[in-house]
Amino acid sequence: MTSRAYELDRKHVFHSWSAQATLDPMVVERAEGSRIWDDQGNSYLDFSSQLVFTNIGHQHPRVVKAIQDQAAKLCTIAPQHANDARSEAARLIAEVSPAGLEHVFFTNGGAEAIEHAVRMARLHTGRIKVLSQYRSYHGGSNTSINVTGDPRRWASDYGSAGTAKFFGPFLYRSEFDATTEQEECERALTHLRRTVEMEGPSTVAAIVLETIPGTAGIMPPPAGYLAGVREICDEHGIVFILDEVMAGFGRAGKWLALDHYGVTPDLVTFAKGITSGYVPLGGVIVSDKVYDTFAQRVYPGGLTYSGHPLACAAAVATVETMRDEGIVEHAAKLGEDVLGPALRELKEKHACVGDVRGVGAFWAVELVKNRETKEPLAPYGGSSPAMNEVIAACKKGGMLPFANYNRLHVVPPCNTSADEVREGLAVLDAALSVGDAHAEG
């Protein structure tokens, strides 16, 4: 028997990234911690963190109360006015950012953050062109989708947005015939340097990278790569933008994923984990250098809900909760002690697993038909019956996965207990046996 929520959804809701008539969405009744329940009473371990944003889990009472308290005090106010919630959220965000990034421009989410970071870079440099990686995702609005490097860009890419692409480091599917991480790093940097030279350094406003590409495959860059990009940017007066929308605020086992690499960009975009998704919020963390451009010059951009009080109250409570409960440290320990070792064991056990990679609570399992040829279990930009069988097996086992093309991403809330993670990994183990039936060897 279908619920009223389902019937109304199918009658009235237009879903994102979907063919509307083919959808059969799950109705979620409630959620708590690392679990969700559908309208049939079935429980699922949330190994997706939804769209990788419930970094402190669902319905954390401290954040829920902060939203309720803020609603009772000041639900909304126009962004030209200062208010306690926004001021404190900005202070806390600056506090966990690299030195020299002290200012925060608030948006409603990650795509808008990229839009404004690119706008700031173009105005700061007086240049137009923006370089970004293939195998990346930066958002669905006009500039952000054209900066994006994955197939979701194709339908909206008219080749006229002032963007150009290059290949980033990814040893498992190296574009540079590399055999080691060091070779991959050196050759990827050479490729980027040549791309800048051929595009014209004086035309390039910014290089935009996800610190650790997320939806595109969770590919931590090799040691030295981000420092090399910083060097190229410095040589040519290019603004270096790091996108921390998915990898930031505990997901990678650090406050910001860039903390793993010892680099300081000029602009940082964030969203998702800053509020654990409880209320939409994103933003740009602005370096002193870029801030100074607009100290006496009007920045021509803004949003009606920039720094919305409910969202900022959620951000303050989220950051304070993460600190008080050691959630960032817990995510790092999960990666080192539980997720990393267990996923590497699954790689050895299952013929369909070609690669595992990640850090913190941020891991990808790449599924292949053949380990030698690395032929993916689903094509780039699409799915397959085999991949759908693996996903269905995860759900049947009571685990909600995050899937993209031929990959399963293991991205539970950052405060998921070690026992719950092992429970989810046991379901994944069984589901991968289904994938093995489609693998050679």
The DSSP secondary structure of 87-141, one letter per residue, reads HHHHHHHHHTSPTTEEEEEEESSHHHHHHHHHHHHHHHHT--EEEEESS----SS
pLDDT at 173: 97
| Spatial CA neighbour of 105 closest among 123, 131, 130 | 123
Whole-number Å distance between alpha carbons of 113 and 139: 9
Residue 38 has pLDDT above 90, yes or no: yes
29-35 mean pLDDT: 98
Q: Tell me which of 281, 299, 324 is where a domain ends.
A: 324
pLDDT at 261: 97
Residues 410 and 299 both lie in one domain: no
136-154 mean pLDDT: 91
Residues 320 and 336 both lie in one domain: no
| Spatial CA neighbour of 212 closest among 202, 203, 222 | 222
Residues 113 and 16 both lie in one domain: no
Share of the chain above pLDDT 70, in %: 100
pLDDT at 161: 77
Residue 222 has pLDDT above 80, yes or no: yes
pLDDT at 346: 98
pLDDT at 158: 80
Tens of pLDDT, residue by residue over 374-425, are 999 999 999 999 999 999 999 999 999 999 999 999 999 999 999 999 999 9
Q: Quick check: is 77 in a domain?
A: yes
Whole-number Å distance between alpha carbons of 211 and 257: 6
Q: Quick check: is 312 in a domain?
A: yes
Residues 405 and 390 both lie in one domain: yes
Write down the mean pLDDT value for the chain. 97
Residues 402 and 298 both lie in one domain: no
pLDDT at 7: 96
> In this structure, what CATH number is given to the domain that contains residue 227?
3.40.640.10
Name 165's bridge partners.
132
Residues 239 and 340 both lie in one domain: no
Structural domain count of the chain: 2
pLDDT at 154: 87
Name 204's bridge partners.
129
Element at 85 (helix H, strand E): helix 84-95
- The answer to whether the CB of 409 falls within 8 A of the CB of 368 is no
Residues 235 and 345 both lie in one domain: no
99-115 mean pLDDT: 98
pLDDT at 160: 75
Name the pTM for this structure.
0.96
> In this structure, what CATH number is given to the domain that contains residue 39?
3.90.1150.10
Whole-number Å distance between alpha carbons of 7 and 30: 18
Whole-number Å distance between alpha carbons of 342 and 22: 36
Q: Tell me which of 289, 324, 359 is where a domain ends.
A: 324
Tens of pLDDT, residue by residue over 174-193, are 999 999 999 999 999 999 99
Q: Tell me which of 290, 324, 358 is where a domain ends.
A: 324
Q: Quick check: is 441 in a domain?
A: no
Structure-token pair, residue 349: 């056990």
Whole-number Å distance between alpha carbons of 368 and 439: 7
Environment class of residue 84 by beta-carbon count within 10 Å: exposed (0-12), middle (13-18) or buried (19+)? middle
pLDDT at 441: 66
Residues 270 and 137 both lie in one domain: yes
186-201 mean pLDDT: 98
Structure-token pair, residue 117: 């970071």
| Spatial CA neighbour of 94 closest among 259, 236, 311, 287 | 287
Environment class of residue 200 by beta-carbon count within 10 Å: exposed (0-12), middle (13-18) or buried (19+)? exposed
Question: What is the residue range of 28's domain?
Answer: 4-56+326-436
Residues 377 and 268 both lie in one domain: no
Tens of pLDDT, residue by residue over 329-348, are 999 999 999 999 999 999 99
Residues 109 and 48 both lie in one domain: no
Tens of pLDDT, residue by residue over 269-301, are 999 999 999 999 999 999 999 999 999 999 999
The amino acid sitting at 96 is: V
